[in-house]
Amino acid sequence: MAKTLGRTKGASMGTLPVFMTAISTILGAILFLRFGYAVGHVGLFGTLLIILVGHLVTVPTALAVAEIATNQRVEGGGAYYMISRSFGFNVGASIGITLFLSQAVSVAFYIIAFAVAFEPITEIINTYMTIHISEIPYFGRPELNNTWIGLIFMGILTILMVTKGANIGVKALYVVVAVLFLSLLLFFMGDESSGHQTLLDFNQKITDGHDFFYMFTIIFPAFTGIAAGLGLSGDLKDPKKSIPQGTLWATIVGIVVYVAVAFKLYFSATTFELAYDEMIMQKIAIWGPIIPIGLGCAAISSALGSVMIAPRTLQALGVDKIFNDGASGWFARGRKKDGEPINSLLLTCAIAFFFIAIGDIDFVAQIISMFFMVTYGAICTISFLEHFAADPAYRPTFKSKWYFSVGGAILSFGLMFAMNFEYAIISIVIMVGIYFWVAAKNTDKPGIEKLFKGVIFQLSRELQVYLQKRDKGIDDTNWRPFIICFSQDSFKRRSAFDMIRWMSNKYGFGTYIHYTEGFLSKETFDSSADARDRLIELAEGVKSRVYIDTLISPSYTSAIAQVIQLSGVSGKGNNMMLFEYLNSEPKTIQDVIDNYGLLRTTEFDVCILRSTYKGFGYKKEIHIWISHKDYENSNLMILLAYIMMGHPEWKHATIKIFSIYENDQEDVQREKLLSLIQSGRLPISQNNIELIPTVKGGDIQSTINIKSGDADLTVLGYDNDSLAEQGIKLFEGYEDIGNILFVSAFKEKEIDLL
């Protein structure tokens, strides 16, 4: 393989190698060693159900693979390449590493199966050694077993692949597949004289057999051959054509053969024979020795397929620089003359040697099943998400159906836990751990966000349309803030941005717009885009949930007119505008005053934040001042204070209410506030309510300055008439107080329905 992820030099393979690689794995060792075992333990009906359920996973995966393969240029790396280009490199890498491990372990699985097929010869060799070879001091008489046979043949396979590469593997497949089909033919021609004891009882099985899901776990590796041909993607002349055709044809042929073998076994042997004689097919075949030969060919061909594709998966991971530079370069390196991934091949063989030494074929089968289930579930998920996202760039020439992919994904992940809960948890934990490890090492590569970007876009669009339709004609009594903050001073002060992120953290939705004055041009557009990117980066540091954008307009009035007509990003219309100014620069608020009538016309609540050098202090106290003029404002003022306390930075704050009453209205005003707090379920203590009488000719501002001098935020109300009468002076006279939020509600809010 070249230094960049691509096809191997001189790639010339067609559809047949894909079919041969897949079918030789599908009709592999499990078919010969465990299908009779399955019929004996779960009955014919149970075995057919295993075949059905297995293909309900693998067929949607095959369809998804065909679809994804025809949508993009398929390079080396097979399934990993397709997953990484659809899911993103980091997600693809976590699946790719798991896929490589399952492929490498598969090599061991098939070699162990080959050792079982070699047992007749092993017995002859051991008999010869017993007769002709004396005992060796301290070691005893030499004797071969399946583990030693497996290690020996793994060594031979390693030497063969290192010296000859994938081409010799493909050539060998033609021979072994021919023998494989010959052995199956002689099996079907075999004698059925022993018969089945109860031909019509398809549920007949041994009484103390394994349960369905255990047998499914053991049998499932037989169905994993559909992915075998994907690993040759870098060696194919036309992957878009060869992968779908070869994979689908192998899947169809496999289903037919599986069902036929299950019926043949059921009608040709007793339940006891099927359950306890793993080589029962040898007794049924017209010429018994062909079954061990066919098993050997199936095992070797499957091992060849796995030992060809596993190194190519690892090589592709190296080319994408998933590991550190040293390891990635070593795995990516191919042989100069043909690009054969020698280094990756050596690691694959080392893993295979380890699992061959363990020697338990059922244990290895369970490991393979788990990892392949994760991979198949991921591939089906990709296909579904691509359908749902409706990305115009997703234009496969072969199209599956989204519900096939959903079914395949649900079954894959569900069956994992039904098969073996502990192994499923371990497999998922391993994959998640690999993902975080890869993501930490490759922060510059797209991660899980690439997976959901298109999906979130479509979901958001559908929800916005739905909300708009359902809101029509409905009185919105359960008020919540949908705020737009509009500011030119985004990079001078953070107080306005902090305010909107606190208000929109839990109960509302916030949009922060940075205003650039001027006409739209290339220069102002680039400057505005840079400002947006900078603000997004700053917002990530405080885990903000605010949507950020920028606006270019020649005047403040035209900018406000544009902003108030914006559709709500949340899917609902905006209902509040937040402005901000510095207390030492009160004239900057004149633009807001001049356009206040425009905001009232469009039914916006208008909040104006006066920032000071004190900032928001320790975020411990919020003071709310309610006067007799705040009939419409009071509920909104209290609600905003309560909403801010939903943010973690204000969660330990307390709200104090100062109510300014006239004449003899103290008891009435107190009762009104207490009833409001009780019905609205607000976290405000009665001890934090203070009533202050108005004094004719008295200066209420002096009282506010004294009592709220240490407040972290003070909330005051204002109305249209006062603003028109006093202008800027309305916001002056509070020099001793920290930040103040001036609130003007368009109409009274229903506080008791929050």
Tell me the per-residue pLDDT of 232-291, one tens digit each, with 9 for 90 and over.
555 667 766 777 788 888 888 889 999 999 999 988 888 888 888 888 888 899 998 888
pLDDT of res. 141:
59
Q: Nearest to residue 331, comparing CAs of 340, 321, 344, 316?
A: 344
- Let me know: does 239 contact 74? Beta carbons within 8 Å: yes
Work out the number of other CB atoms within 10 angstroms of the CB of residue 461. Answer: 12
Which residues partner with 482 through β-bridges?
A: 509
Pairing label, strands 654-661, 576-582? unpaired
Which residue reads 């914006």 in tokens? Answer: 566
- Let me know: does 96 contact 80? Beta carbons within 8 Å: yes
**CA 470: distance to chain centroid?**
31
Low-confidence ranges of the chain (pLDDT < 50): 1-7, 10, 193, 197, 474, 753-754
Give the separation between CA 89 and CA 316, rounded to whole angstroms: 11
Give the separation between CA 24 and CA 27, rounded to whole angstroms: 5
Please, what is the angle between helix 361-389 and helix 342-358, to 10°? 130
pLDDT of res. 1:
37
CA angle 608, 614, 620 (to 5 degrees): 85
pLDDT of res. 739:
94
**Segments of 555-634 assigned E as strands:** 576-582, 605-611, 621-626
Q: Count of H helices and E strands in the chain?
A: 28, 10
- Let me know: does 39 contact 272? Beta carbons within 8 Å: no
Question: Amino acid identity, residue 529?
Answer: A
Q: Nearest to residue 337, comparing CAs of 612, 2, 6?
A: 2
Give the separation between CA 279 and CA 295, rounded to whole angstroms: 10
Q: Nearest to residue 579, comparing CAs of 566, 571, 588?
A: 588
* Residue range(s) of every CATH 1.20.1740.10 domain in the chain: 15-449
Q: H-type helices in 519-665, by residue range?
A: 522-540, 556-564, 590-594, 596-601, 634-644
Please, what is the angle between helix 35-69 and helix 402-419, to 10°? 140
Query: Looking at domain 475-753, which CATH architecture does it have?
Result: 3-Layer(aba) Sandwich (3.40)
- Superfamily of structural domain 15-449: Amino acid/polyamine transporter I (1.20.1740.10)
pLDDT of res. 754:
39
Q: What are the tokens at 549? A: 């954008």
Grouping H, G, I as helix, E, B as strand and the rest as coil, residue 693 is: strand
Is residue 537 packed enough to be buried (19+ CB in 10 Å), middle (13-18) or exposed (0-12)? exposed
This prediction has a pTM of 0.63
Q: Is 587 left (phi over 0), alpha (psi -120 to 50) or beta?
A: alpha
What are the residues whose beta carbons fall under 8 Å from the beta carbon of 156, sequence distance 6 or more? none
Q: What are the tokens at 129? A: 């050694």
Which residue reads 């000719």 in tokens? Answer: 697
Q: Nearest to residue 260, comparing CAs of 198, 197, 189?
A: 189
pLDDT of res. 7:
47
* Residue range(s) of every CATH 3.40.50.12370 domain in the chain: 475-753
The dihedral through the CA atoms of 18, 21, 23, 25 has a sign that is negative
Q: Nearest to residue 744, comparing CAs of 622, 600, 610, 562?
A: 600
Work out the number of other CB atoms within 10 angstroms of the CB of residue 76. Answer: 29
What are the phi and psi torsion angles at 377 (to 5°)? -60, -40
pLDDT of res. 540:
81
Give the separation between CA 334 and CA 343, rounded to whole angstroms: 7
Give the separation between CA 145 and CA 489, rounded to whole angstroms: 80
Q: Is 10 left (phi over 0), alpha (psi -120 to 50) or beta?
A: left
Q: What are the tokens at 57? A: 């996973």
Q: What are the tokens at 148? A: 């030693």
Q: H-type helices in 487-629, by residue range?
A: 495-503, 522-540, 556-564, 590-594, 596-601
